[in-house]
């Protein structure tokens, strides 16, 4: 009798576990299409899902929305799906698309909606939007990724806990990102504010960046201005470079025209400074500079120093300090018209 009771009890426990592991899911799809002015504006606000923007040569806009939910409770799933929707409003020159999500919804993982724990309910809202090629885009996305191919219209983009993958965006004017990864082929003139993020960019005409705790791999920039805290920058070729910040590491392969550094507690390494660089200014505190030069580079040195060391492997250079004032030259031409202005405290510079 006891053996039979144990068998029944075991079967009950197994049945209870199977019920507790049961997963309910639901999905609804929204499709809307309308004629749209090519010079119009599209505003899209989403969270808990991905956004894909596709530019096409049509005078129309098409919005495809997929809303998916999962839960271990059927009643909670039904309630969540009922309270989650997409509001889409079309006018001739203006489209407003917005996600409405119940406050009781728990966000899904960015990478996988099915990574569920406990009895929580998750929701995912994904958009695929077709727009004219010159349409202005204002996009805000939280807990999800954004995908963009080539687009010729102005773009203002805000990301939070999500990634951006894009091709050529000549009019991406404003980018804000926290806790995300940015992959872009090329931009024109971009103002960006990034925190705890990574950026991989092939080419930019002008980049104005405000960054904290970021990692950057940028191949080519014409004009690069950055305010930086605790960043790691790997740069290819830069025409003009302006840096203001602290606690950052900079590795630059090729400097073409000019540079200005105002840096504390950092490390700067420039592999090759070209002879065309005639303006180079350093304001340094507890920072190490490792500077390499192309052949035939010559410049004068002036500035001030306090516990500041300058070392050079070039036998044609002569730099000295007199009562804290720096003077001298680097290279074979002591009468060069180019001047490097150096004001340093508790720092080191290696000229190679």
Which sequence spans correspond to the domains of the chain? 23-144
pLDDT (mean) for 234-262: 99
| pLDDT at 15 exceeding the cut of 50 | no
Is pLDDT at 118 greater than 60 in this prediction?
no
User: Does pLDDT of 108 surpass 80?
Assistant: no
| % of residues, the chain, pLDDT over 90 | 79
pLDDT at 103: 57
Tell me the pLDDT band of 110, cut-offs 50, 70 and 90: very low
- Residue 8 has φ and ψ, to the nearest 5°, of -60, -45
184 vs 83, higher pLDDT: 184
3-state SS assignment for residue 313 = coil
**Highest mean pLDDT (candidates 92-106, 157-171, 305-319):** 157-171
Residue bearing the bigger pLDDT, 162 or 19: 162
What pLDDT score was predicted for residue 279? 95
Q: Please report the DSSP string for 335-346 in residue order.
A: T-S-EEEEEEES
**DSSP secondary structure, 247-274, as one string:** S-EEEEEEEEEEEEEEEES-EEEEEEE-
Quick one: pLDDT band at residue 4, thresholds 50, 70, 90? Answer: low
pTM: 0.87
Nearest C-alpha neighbor of 275 from the set 252, 248, 255, 259: 255
Residue 114 has pLDDT above 70, yes or no: no
What pLDDT, on the 0 to 100 scale, is given for residue 142? 97
| Per-residue confidence (pLDDT) for residue 112, from 0 to 100 | 39
Mean pLDDT value across residues 136-158 = 98
DSSP code for 16: H
Averaging pLDDT over each range in 229-238, 301-310, 336-345, which range is the top one?
229-238
Given a cut of 60, whether residue 223 has pLDDT beyond it is yes
pLDDT band at 102 (very low <50, low <70, confident <90, very high): low
Q: Is the predicted pLDDT of residue 262 greater than 80, yes or no?
A: yes
Three-state secondary-structure class, residue 135: coil
pLDDT in tens, 150-206: 999 999 999 999 999 999 999 999 999 999 999 999 999 999 999 999 999 999 999
Residue 327: count other Cβ atoms within 10 Å of its Cβ.
13
**Average pLDDT in the 228-235 region?**
99
Q: Are strands 325-330 and 299-306 parallel, antiparallel or unpaired?
A: antiparallel
Average pLDDT over residues 60-66: 97
Among 165-169, 282-286, 319-323, which is the least confidently predicted range? 319-323
Alpha carbon dihedral 325, 331, 334, 339, in 10-degree steps, equals -50
Residue 101 pLDDT grade (very low, low, confident, very high; cuts 50, 70, 90): confident
Is residue 92 scored above 70 in pLDDT?
A: yes
Per DSSP bridges, beta strands 288-293 and 267-273 are parallel
CB atoms within 10 A of CB 300: 19
Which pair of tokens denotes residue 47? 């969270």
Q: Give the HSE-up count for residue 314: Cα atoms under 13 Å, Cβ half-sphere.
A: 23
**pLDDT band for position 56 (cuts 50, 70, 90):** very high
**Residue 129: pLDDT above 90?**
yes
Q: How confident is the model at residue 8 (pLDDT cuts 50, 70, 90)?
A: low
pLDDT at 113 over 70: no
pLDDT at 257 over 80: yes
Residue, of 124 and 7, whose pLDDT is higher: 124
Tracing tokens 């999905």 back to the chain, one arrives at 27
Q: Cα(163)–Cα(106) distance, rounded to whole angstroms?
A: 20
Token code pair at residue 266? 């950092």
Q: How far is CA 96 from the centre of its chain?
A: 25
Q: Using 50, 70 and 90 to split pLDDT, how confident is the model at 120?
A: confident
Assigned token pair, 337: 């018209």
Q: Are strands 146-148 and 249-264 parallel, antiparallel or unpaired?
A: unpaired
H helical segments located in the chain: 2-21, 74-83
């Amino acid at each position: 009798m006891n053996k039979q009771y144990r068998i029944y009890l075991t079967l009950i426990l197994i049945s209870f576990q199977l019920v507790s592991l049961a997963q309910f899911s639901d999905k609804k799809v929204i499709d809307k299409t309308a004629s749209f002015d090519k010079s119009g504006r599209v505003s899209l606000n989403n969270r808990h899902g991905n956004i894909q923007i596709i530019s096409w040569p049509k005078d129309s806009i098409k919005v495809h929305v997929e809303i998916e939910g999962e839960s271990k409770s059927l009643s909670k799933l039904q309630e969540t799906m009922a309270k989650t929707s997409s509001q889409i409003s079309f006018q001739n020159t203006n489209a407003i698309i917005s996600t409405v999500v119940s406050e009781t919804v728990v966000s899904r993982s960015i990478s996988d909606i099915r990574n569920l724990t406990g009895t929580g309910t998750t929701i995912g809202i994904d958009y695929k939007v077709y727009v004219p090629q010159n349409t202005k885009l204002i996009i805000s996305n939280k807990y999800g990724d954004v995908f963009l191919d080539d687009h010729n219209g102005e773009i203002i983009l805000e990301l939070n806990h999500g990634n951006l993958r894009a091709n050529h965006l000549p009019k991406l004017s404003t980018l804000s990102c926290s806790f995300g990864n940015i992959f872009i082929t090329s931009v024109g003139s971009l103002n960006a504010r990034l925190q705890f993020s990574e950026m991989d960019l092939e080419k930019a005409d002008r980049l104005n960046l405000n960054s904290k705790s970021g990692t950057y791999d940028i191949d080519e920039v014409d004009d690069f201005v950055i305010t930086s805290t605790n960043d790691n920058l790997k740069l290819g070729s830069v025409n003009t470079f302006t840096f203001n910040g602290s606690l950052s590491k900079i590795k630059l392969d090729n400097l073409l025209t000019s540079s200005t550094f105002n840096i504390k507690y950092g490390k700067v390494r420039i592999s090759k400074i070209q002879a065309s660089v005639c303006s180079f200014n350093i304001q340094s505190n507890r920072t190490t500079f490792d500077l390499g030069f192309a052949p035939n580079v010559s410049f004068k040195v002036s500035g001030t120093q306090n516990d500041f060391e300058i070392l050079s492997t070039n036998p044609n250079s002569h730099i000295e300090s007199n009562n804290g004032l720096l003077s001298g030259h680097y290279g074979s031409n002591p009468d060069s018209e180019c001047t490097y202005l150096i004001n340093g405290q508790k720092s080191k510079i290696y000229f190679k």
